[in-house]
Amino acid sequence: MIDCRAMSTIALFDLDHTLIAEDSDALWGRFLVEQGVLDSEDYEREKQRFLSEYRQGRLDIEEFIRFALAPYAAHDYALLLQWRERFVEEKMRPLISDAARALLDRHRDAGHVLLIVTATNEFLTRPIAELLEVEHFLATPMERINGNYTGRTAGPPCFREGKLFYLERWLEANEHDLEGSWFYSDSHNDLPLLERVSNPVAVNPDETLRRIAGERDWPVVSLHDTDPV
């Protein structure tokens, strides 16, 4: 059990495979396959390629963003909202574990400011953050023109050093700093931010992050099975 009562200010959380046990963007893609919007074989082939590159730390984030955002540009915003509402209820709500909620509550009870920092786009992230009752979130911004998405980002992807880029702007705008801060993540791709906070925590970590956490004596916890947090 991690005691966060004595710590202060900011508690940061990755989303996919950290607060939730799955990749929300991948689930969204499969949801669109179920709606007949995407071809199952093509989607799964490309998704598995990107996933392999991500795990190896060599993901071309710009190429992945073009792939992930293409369906948004192909459909009206109002229709996307209808799909998203069903998606959150059917696919996301069942993924919120008691352990994840308990962790968030411990930081709330300690008076910390909770902030989700994710590479997933803002369209998907917003309702998931609301489901988790986390007011603040940073995600990859999406460009909209005349009310509809273009399939392009509205700024750098919120990925690796991009998380620091958006976080530093948010800290300045909200008059916070990283003194006593926490960050929970599953991925070695989040090392740039894990190395900046006072209290890095590996959550169900990938093999590389588990090794690094062991070398640096970082806590390793689970939110997705019966292991204690």
- Over the stretch 130-178, which tens digit does the pLDDT of each residue have? 999 999 999 999 999 999 999 999 999 999 999 999 999 999 999 999 9
Task: Determine which one of 3, 14, 190, 225 is catalytic.
Answer: 14
pLDDT of residue 8: 62
Is 187's pLDDT higher than 60?
A: yes
Is 75's pLDDT higher than 70?
A: yes
Answer for the pair 104, 4: CB distance below 8 angstroms, yes or no.
Answer: no
Let me know if 16 is a catalytic residue: yes
The model's confidence at residue 50, banded by pLDDT at 50, 70 and 90, is: confident
Answer for the pair 195, 213: CB distance below 8 angstroms, yes or no.
Answer: no
Let me know if 14 is a catalytic residue: yes
Instruction: List 200's β-bridge partners, or say none.
Output: 183
Is 228's pLDDT higher than 60?
A: no
Phi first, then psi, for residue 198 (nearest 5°) are -75, -30
Task: Determine which one of 16, 25, 186, 190 is catalytic.
Answer: 16
| Residue 77 to residues 10, 144, 176, Cα–Cα distance (Å) | 33, 9, 34
**pLDDT mean across residues, the chain:** 92
Which residue matches tokens 């993901």?
59
Phi first, then psi, for residue 228 (nearest 5°) are -70, 150
pLDDT of residue 40: 86
pLDDT of residue 64: 86
Complete domains list, the chain, with CATH: 10-221 (3.40.50.1000)
